[in-house]
Amino acid sequence: MLLLLLGIIVLHVAVLVLLFVSTIVSQWLIVNGRTADLWQNCSTLGVQSSFQCVTSSTNEWLQSVQAMMILSIIFSVLSLFLFFCQLFTLTKGGRFYITGIFQILAGLCVMSGAAIFTVRHTDWQPDTSDTSFGFAYILAWVAFPLAVVSGVIYVILRKRE
Amino acid sequence: MGSQGTSGSGSLVLVAALFSALVLAPTWAIHVYTHREVHGTVGDQVTLACSFWSSEWISDDISITWLFQPESGKDTISIFHFVKGQPYVDEVGAFKNRMEWVGDPHRKDGSIIIRNLDYTDNGTFTCDVKNPPDIGGKSSQVTLYVFEKVPTRYGVVLGAVIGGVLGLVILVVVIGYLIRYCWLRRQATLQRQLSAMEKGKLQRSAKDSSKRGRQPPVLYAMLDHSRSTKSASEKKSKGGLGESRKDKK
């Protein structure tokens, strides 16, 4: 039981870390040396390799991606908080419904954010042949199934003692 | 006692000083307020808002001036002047027939409207107000940006989405709790009614237990509160039936 509990918490924290990293790190898109993320476009200029960043555009879709990522972090943190609350208040045999619902919501938010980014990134980044998605984008997609799985585990899980 | 008196007089002095600072010796300056930036679309119109605050009574000699410095040039040209209750609009320059005075000095408002915007209108507009004898103070500047299509301000969609979703979630949670609360209250009142009914029955049954051999199983069925309200109401009607039967006897 304790091992299961520990495993769930580790999974939840892993999801949170993935969400934070993918939201913050500037590696959503890589266009020949320039990197772009939800917040800024960075590039290495010249031989002295001075790193320069400018804020990204105010495109509506980009803003909704940002909003979705922030919402998923909020929901996931809230879910972790509620899990600890429910751990001490739930009666024996109860299920962690609320915790699970919020975690699944976080997963859905990440999914919609990443999906919007996939479809709409050409609106604010001119589409060139050497555009590739960076690791932060992949982490966001990895975070989605993990969040949903941990949410489903919360819903299935019954409190033992 | 003495210390109290001195502290009282001290606070009095303080209040007097504050009063004189705030009322008797006001700051002799005029304050002009405008937006910092205004965005407009080509061909559309834009309102350049300008409000001011003066320590003096608004006199008839008040004058309001709008100056314009185009983005590309260094010269500042006067485009609007309001004096002696009469607005004077620039009739030769770039803003010919495109400007309208919508302010009212008595409401401390010196706004103008510029119609049919063009890219050449990009630049800095300065609102300057003089209310003699109150002529000190700074003028205020607003920068006009003319776009083909006004871009969404940063954070508007972001805030709307986050606020909307969070509000929705909070609403759902509140509604859920309300429903649960109502449900629990209803259950509690139902239980109280049932237990009261049961008590009365028990007393009666104790009374006429000598006459009647055994109680029907209706009573035991009523003890089960965990059913839905539908079955509970059914039981209630059953109980009523039982009672009426007993009353007949």
pLDDT, tens only, A71-95: 999 999 999 999 988 888 887 778 8
Q: What is the mean pLDDT of residues B33-37?
A: 89
Is B154 in contact with A71 (Cβ distance < 8 A)?
no
The verdict on B156 touching A (C-beta cutoff 8 Å) is yes
Residue type at position B178: L
Q: What is the mean pLDDT of residues B200-227?
A: 58
Contacts with A64 from chain B: Cβ below 8 Å: 157-158, 161
Mean pLDDT for chain A overall:
85
| Among A109-118, A139-148, B141-150, the least confident range | B141-150
Q: Kindly state the helix (H) or strand (E) to which residue B219 belongs, with its residue range.
A: helix B218-222
Q: What is the mean pLDDT of residues A19-41?
A: 83
pLDDT exceeds cutoff 60 at B216: no
CA-only gyration radius of chain A, Å = 19
Claim: this prediction has a pTM higher than 0.80: no
All residues at 6 or more sequence positions from B192 whose CB lies less than 8 Å from its CB, including other chains: none
Q: What is the DSSP string of B169-183?
A: HHHHHHHHHHHHHHH
Q: What is the pLDDT of residue A131?
A: 80
Q: What is the mean pLDDT of residues B178-201?
A: 90
pLDDT exceeds cutoff 80 at A64: yes
- B169: distance to nearest CA of chain A, Å? 10
Q: Which residue is it, tokens 């509604």?
A: B175
Could you tell me the pLDDT band of residue B10, with boundaries at 50, 70 and 90? low
Which residues 107-136 of A are in CB contact (within 8 Å) with B?
109
Mean pLDDT for chain B overall:
76
Could you tell me the pLDDT band of residue B222, with boundaries at 50, 70 and 90? low
Contacts with A70 from chain B: Cβ below 8 Å: 158, 162
Q: Is the dihedral of CA A107, A112, A118, A121 positive or negative?
A: negative
Q: Cis peptide leading into B133, omega within 30 of 0?
A: yes
Contacts with B157 from chain A: Cβ below 8 Å: 60, 63-64, 67
Cα separation, A26 vs A35, whole angstroms:
6
Number of alpha helices (DSSP H) and beta strands (DSSP E) in chain B: 4, 11
Could you tell me the pLDDT band of residue B8, with boundaries at 50, 70 and 90? very low
Q: What is the pLDDT of residue B73?
A: 80
Residue with the bigger pLDDT between A100 and B16: it is A100
**B140-147 and B37-41 strand pairing:** parallel
> For A126-159, what is each residue's pLDDT tens digit?
777 778 888 889 999 999 999 999 999 989 887 7
pLDDT exceeds cutoff 80 at B237: no
Q: What is the mean pLDDT of residues B181-204?
A: 88
- A30: distance to nearest CA of chain B, Å? 23
Residue with the bigger pLDDT between A8 and B152: it is A8
The verdict on B149 touching A (C-beta cutoff 8 Å) is no
> For B74-117, what is each residue's pLDDT tens digit?
888 888 898 888 888 888 878 888 888 888 888 888 899 998 88
The tally of CA atoms less than 13 A away on the side-chain side of residue B34 is 25
Q: What is the mean pLDDT of residues B145-157?
A: 77
- Alpha carbon distance, N-terminus to C-terminus of chain A: 9
Is A67 in contact with B154 (Cβ distance < 8 A)?
no
Is B157 in contact with A105 (Cβ distance < 8 A)?
no
Could you tell me the pLDDT band of residue B174, with boundaries at 50, 70 and 90? very high
Which residues 47-76 of A are in CB contact (within 8 Å) with B?
55, 58-60, 63-64, 66-68, 70-71, 74
Q: How far is CA B83 from the centre of its chain?
A: 38
DSSP-derived 3-state class of residue A52: strand
Q: What is the mean pLDDT of residues B159-181?
A: 92
